[in-house]
Chain A
Amino acid sequence: MSVDTSEVRRIAHLSRLAMNDDQARDFAGGLSDIFDFVEQLDGAAIEGVEPMAHPLDAEQRLRPDAVTEPDRREVFQAIAPAVEGGLYLVPRVIE
């Protein structure tokens, strides 16, 4: 399957990756090769096979609904790009 520049830009947008036309053109070839490559899966004998999500087919483990982590808000916010008054700052969303 071949992807063109506009398809690359569409996927980049879904992926939240800024990308201009030149960059999209550079990615198109490699992505097309990868999609061609994975088309080998089309020949697999998988009729009636259960999909495998976990190598050991383990069930999700449950734990008691109890507080186990201490409050480390200040430590975590100390590594954020921009915080104020205990809040993470981003550009204005609502005018």
Chain B
Amino acid sequence: MAQETLSGWVRKLQAREISSRELTQLYLDRIERLDPQLNSFITVTAEQALAQADAADARLAKGEKTPLLGVPVAQKDIFCTEGVRTSCGSHMLDPFVSPYNATVVERMNAAGAVMLGKTNMDEFAMGSSNETSFYGPVRNPWDTERVPGGSSGGSAAAVGARLVPGATGTDTGGSIRQPAAFCGITGLKPTYGRVSRYGMIAFASSLDQGGPMAATAEDCGRMLNAMAGFDERDSTSVERPEEDFTAGLEQDLKGLRIGLPTEFFGEAGLDERVRGVIDAAIEVLKGRGAEVREVSLPNSHLSVPAYYVVAPAECSSNLARFDGVRYGYRCENPEDLMDLYTRSRGEGFGDEVKRRIMVGTYVLSAGYYDAYYLKAQKVRRIIADDFRRAFEDVDVLLAPTTPELPFALGAKADPVSMYLSDIYTIAANLAGLPAMSLPAGEIDGLPVGLQLIGNYFDEARLLGVAHQYQQETDWHARVPAAFA
């Protein structure tokens, strides 16, 4: 039963083959039975979910057809949910019950979605393995000794194990795509500004972007239809007409120009077996009429270093709001105001968050701004310009999502080696481009992700290419044996 996709459930609900209450109960039972192996949920909102399901059933009975009516979903615990703890994976926000909903949550509620709960994540979305969560690591459903990726690792593991048909994620440097690749699911980071950041707890505001995670490209398009749209409460939300992101699904690939960035294939560190999977996927797309050529993104090797200036700088500013005064964690018996601030923050934040706040504080401190932040912003421009030139000759770019297979828990103890696991995903964030990961193969029982990067606002085309690939292959339909 749980093998069905989100889109499949929408059709069955509309056809009244199953009620939203039955479906919601089915997934709540799976979470209760199977999630102890994964730790993918921080909070399960069973009672509220069943009430939402009953409301959806009443609307279905009246013949309503909103895009997600009656379908169970999960929200990454970075999205504020009114009356429900919104922890962001941090001790700092463990006591925080949000007084309002994020725009994404409001929009998905309006579309009829049923929220099963809040998914685990790296603390404040800072991590690539889900090991920095205050609530403990999430485990990969394909091998529970391995990480699910991060930071949206709870959402990825939950969808991969079919504990929920779709979940939200956020992607600042790869946090939707890398865990999607590691857990064998499809995930899309939209163009910067597509999905409102209102009520999405900020990490690096010029990079953060919410997006869908589900089994298929069709599911992601359907979810994005509900999630995306102009929001005057987000100052960087783009004002564009509403768009149907499923419109390009049936578009054939004849004449589609796919670019292979040589820098994403040549560098040391790419697992040869991953490369083999990507090469096979390219052949599938060629077989459906796509044309493939090499392109160059000559400055892409500077992406990770530029990111580790820009993102920490923005994080140090954004996380200054957590001061132990207005909400969240406060230390016991503060001696004075400075002690209140420093101990609340020192005790409330985990090590990786502290590390990034300190890097950001340093690069923004007097005398260092030009040497670090300004320089990184200039590098950001030349990285974006590389993409601009590439898209003069091709329609989409194709690359591995990650250089290697899901790694073991604890395998990457030093920060820089962890940062390099996002080597292929970060450039799209710096440029603000839409990009997605989809399952393209398996090695030793572990999934491999294929990355597609599109031009600005070209999500419908990306999803179309992915959907056409998923018509020819069944990697997206595979579920780890222990969760089938």
B-binding residues in A (CB < 8 A): 8, 11-19, 26-27, 30-31, 33-35, 37-42, 44-46, 49-56, 58, 60-61, 63, 72, 75-76, 78-82, 88, 90-93
Contact = CB atoms under 8 A, between A and B. Distances in A.
Contact of A16 (B341, B379, B415): B341
A44 B375 contact: yes
B238 A81 contact: no
List 10 A-B pairs, minimum CB-CB distance, nearest first: A55-B432, A18-B346, A51-B377, A81-B330, A52-B381, A46-B378, A18-B342, A49-B378, A15-B361, A55-B192
Contacts of A49: 378, 381-382
Given A18-B347, A38-B309, A41-B379, A56 B432 contact: yes
Contacts, number: 172
21 contacts: A15-B358, A16-B342, A39-B305, A41-B309, A42-B375, A44-B299, A44-B302, A51-B374, A51-B378, A54-B206, A55-B192, A55-B384, A55-B431, A56-B192, A56-B193, A79-B95, A79-B97, A79-B327, A81-B327, A90-B325, A91-B340
Given A12-B358, A75-B99, A88 B326 contact: yes
Contact of B206 (A17, A53, A91): A53
B357 A17 contact: yes
Nearest to B330: A81
Nearest to B331: A18
B55 to A, nearest CB: 23
A29 B222 CA distance: 46
A23 B375 CA distance: 30
Contacts of A50: 378, 381
Contacts of B357: 15, 17
A69 B374 CA distance: 36
Contact of A52 (B335, B342, B380): B380
A76 B326 contact: yes
A38 B327 CA distance: 34
Contacts of A34: 308, 355, 359, 415-416
Interface in B296-332: 299, 301-302, 304-306, 308-309, 316, 320, 323-330
Contact of B335 (A13, A14, A91): A91
Contacts of B308: 34, 37-38
A27 B299 CA distance: 30
Contacts of A31: 355, 358-359, 362
B378 A11 contact: no
B459 to A, nearest CB: 15
Secondary structure call for the B interface: helix
Contacts of A93: 336-337
Interface residues of B, number: 73
Contact of A46 (B239, B337, B358, B379): B379
B95 to A, nearest CB: 8
B365 interface: yes
Interface string B344-356: 0111010100110
Nearest to B319: A15
Given A44-B299, A45-B382, A49-B378, A76 B99 contact: yes
A94 to B, nearest CB: 10
Contacts of A80: 325-327
A35 B376 CA distance: 13
B414 A33 contact: yes
Contacts of A12: 354, 358
B339 interface: yes
Nearest to B374: A51
A88 B358 CA distance: 27
B483 interface: no
Nearest to B433: A55
A27 B358 contact: yes
Contact of A17 (B96, B238, B358, B414): B358
B456 interface: yes
A93 B375 CA distance: 40
Contact of B324 (A26, A39, A81): A81
Given A12-B358, A41-B305, A79 B377 contact: no
A52 B378 contact: yes
B109 interface: no
B269 interface: no
Nearest to B326: A80
Nearest to B373: A51
B286 interface: no
A40 B302 contact: yes
B48 interface: no
Contacts of A56: 192-193, 238, 432, 456
B410 interface: no
A15 B382 CA distance: 30
Contacts of A45: 382
B235 interface: yes
Given A49-B378, A52-B380, A17 B355 contact: no
Nearest to B205: A54
B27 interface: no
B372 to A, nearest CB: 7
Contacts of B327: 76, 79-81
A85 to B, nearest CB: 16
